[in-house]
Amino acid sequence: MSPEVLIYSTAVLYGISTLHYLLYLIFRKEKLATVGLYSARFGFLTNFIAIVFLIIQNGSISLFSPKGAFLLFAISVVTVYLYFSTKHKLSLSGAFLMPWATLFVFIASLTSGVPKNTFSVGIVGLIHIVSAFFGYSAFIFGALLSIIYLIFESHLKKKKFSVFFQKLPSLSLLESVIYHAVTVGFFFTTVSMFAGALWSEKIFGTYWSWHPKQVATLISWFVYAGILHLYLYGEWNGKKFCYLNLLGLLVIVINFLGVNLLSGKDIHSFKG
């Protein structure tokens, strides 16, 4: 079986999941959310196998191709969603996360899986890139929940009890989940930074080279370190915490799009 067949299968499964979660928003039937959840789970399996087949076909370096990068981004988004939806019963969040996973797999189906570089990845390199994508996905999840929190809080203040929010937990629990997501993202980003430094020393003979990606990631790390510090010790909770997460998401978008997709064809670029 070729990776392309698995990628198309994943796109279909994620698409089915997205459709059912969107219908769940409208009709609020638990069966719709259940179909969305199981479609996401089966899609996760085909997504994972597609990545494995791609690595077997082109080597670990294929994760730095556009196809490998977006497949990895998709599965990290779904993994984060499945973890938090199972732990905190947030089926509603599927309507906001699964469309992104579907989009990433669709992009992967249209792009090249042939790596442009031939350097050795190894275990440290795999830890570096996988941790980076899990960090991105957790931050995205936290930002999306922050948007939901802000809308929910605004409606409660105006005493608009929309059916849209009937499946949401309390604001305090929602804030706790957002904090959990940010800490998960911060952990994986930290792991990615240290693994990246070790990998850089192995390939280039130096832990730090002032590469734009290294600088952007370090800035992102300091931004989220500041966000967590303000939340824990500065009492920047509630709406303030959510606004900070949206600021953090902007930094992540600049980090990923500005460096990985728009930079020249170097080790951190996913251009074909």
Overall pTM surpassing 0.85 (yes/no): yes
Domains of the chain, each with CATH number or no CATH = 1-117 (1.20.120), 119-272 (no CATH)
Of these ranges, 62-66, 113-117, 185-189, 262-266, the one predicted with the greatest mean pLDDT is 185-189
Kindly indicate the confidence band of residue 73, based on its pLDDT and cuts at 50, 70 and 90.
Answer: very high
Residue 198 has pLDDT above 90, yes or no: yes
Query: Can you tell me the mean pLDDT for 29-57?
Result: 95
3-class DSSP state of 208: coil
Residue 232 has pLDDT above 70, yes or no: yes
Residue 42 has pLDDT above 90, yes or no: yes
3-class DSSP state of 234: coil
Q: What's the mean per-residue pLDDT of the chain? A: 88
* Contacts with 241 (C-beta within 8 Å, 6 or more apart), sequence order: 146, 175, 178, 179, 227, 230, 231
Query: What is the length of the chain?
Result: 272
Alpha helices in 158-235 (DSSP H): 171-204, 212-233
Q: Identify the residue with better confidence: 231 or 260.
A: 231
Taking a C-beta distance cutoff of 8 angstroms, is the pair 138, 188 a contact? Answer: yes
pLDDT at position 263 is 57
Would residue 168 be called left, alpha or beta, if left means φ above 0 and alpha means ψ between -120 and 50 degrees?
beta
Of these ranges, 92-96, 120-124, 191-195, the one predicted with the greatest mean pLDDT is 191-195
Query: Can you tell me the mean pLDDT for 255-261?
Result: 70
Taking a C-beta distance cutoff of 8 angstroms, is the pair 237, 179 a contact? Answer: no
- The model's pLDDT over 209-229, given as tens digits with 9 standing for 90+, comes to 887 888 889 999 999 999 999
Residue 261 has pLDDT above 80, yes or no: no
